[in-house]
Amino acid sequence: MVAPASTLVALAVGLTLLGASANAAGPVASGPSGGPGAAPRSGPGTGGIAPTGRAGNPLPAAVPYMGWNTYYGVGGIFGEGTILSVARALIDRGLARAGYRIVWLDFGWASGRRDRSGQLVVDRHQWPHGLSWLTTWLHRHGLLAGIYTDAGSSGCHGQGVGSLGHYRQDADSFAAWGFDAVKVDFCGAGQEGLDPRPAYTRFAKALANNSSHRRLLLNVCNFWVPGQINGVRPTFANSSYGSYRWAPRIAQSWRTDTDIGFSRNVQWVNVLRNLDHDASQPTAAGPGHWNDPDYLGPELGMTSSEAQAQLSMWAIVAAPLILGSDPRALSDSTITMLTNRQVIAVDQDPLGIQGTVVEQEGDGQVWSKPLAGGQAAVALLNRGSEPLRITTDASTLGLRSAAAYEVRDLWAGTTETTAGPLEATVAPDSAVLYRVMPQQR
């Protein structure tokens, strides 16, 4: 039940449960176990066998992968110096330790020029030491490396790097250079009229059979929504809305909606839009394959409460956590928000179940995500412009009965024990996030 309220009040909590682990104090994530220079637990040192997930787990992206991407915070102009500077910020500001380990080069890493043999030309002014040197540096510092290409002959509007006609050649190059992840865009490919499923299937096969026998994570970035290209194309089946039908069999993630914003511009209204479309097919996601609603964008146009709500909801829907903002420019409070280990633990829960809406009234929503160990994560989301009092209970959440429940507010850092309803007054454009643990009888 959801009711308007004029002031924020203290939380009164209580309920029953359906699912999560005792790992509430820290994420089941992939980060180095030691300091910033520690060797990574898995992946780069062993050919990228498990670029994300627990040490020793051979499944790529056993939990949603985490990292940073150049696209929203840096844009298309970057080179070796920028990437090293950002990588140091990820380490020095604790983001890498919290799990944000993939340093992902997006469309601006190359012009798309090729030499006579068809190999992509690496600009020595942009990458003076070369890309193999860069990935080695990142791996040595406990980080992972991601790279970008388009499934078409070039990127958007005939510009930038594209791999059409060179899928195997480029897959071999990315692996030989030491990358751990590849984002394959469909901007140029869609404009050229390609169908996504056969194109991505061919690329996935090339990546899986690369000459270095290196295991790389594949992100399907078909962001087009129906009719977005020219009013007719793509069809629903060939759009981001239809990728869930085939992408889980070939990739570790796939986009579920169009871009969440523009360079240095991510707005709350688009966060809600992408959240809704990502939530439409929750059973498509699971360990090793994830719905991808696009990147986190704190300080790119949202308020601090909106950015916190985005991370809350991305955790509930088990989304890959890729930071789009420039970590060098973020405030200390935003870094603290992004590195909240109890929130990250919800996203990284080993069950890999995507949370869903279990109750909605007006602008208020109740979301529930089963977690390992008989616990659950619960988000109360206020999508409106006025404070709302949101109330739910055990039966609505589908939780097993218990005499009492420990309810941990993951943002406030407080814990309550209760047997009553779960309720809180939630500020506009905000979310409250709980981990609920049934107590032993």
Residue numbers annotated as active site: 185, 259
Residue 440 neighbours by CB under 8 Å, 6+ apart? none
Contact 305, 430 (CB under 8 A): yes
Q: What is the chain's length?
A: 441
193 three-state secondary structure:
coil
Question: From start to end of 75-135, where are the E strands?
Answer: 102-104
438 three-state secondary structure:
strand
- Half-sphere exposure of residue 107: CA atoms within 13 angstroms, side-chain side: 22
Q: What is the DSSP string of 294-354?
A: --B-TTTTS-HHHHHHHHHHHHHTT--EEE-S-TTT--HHHHHHHT-HHHHHHHT-TT-PP
How is residue 37 annotated by DSSP? T
Q: What angle do CA 233, 234, 235 make, to 5 degrees?
A: 105
- Residues 36 and 14: their CA atoms lie apart, in Å, by 40
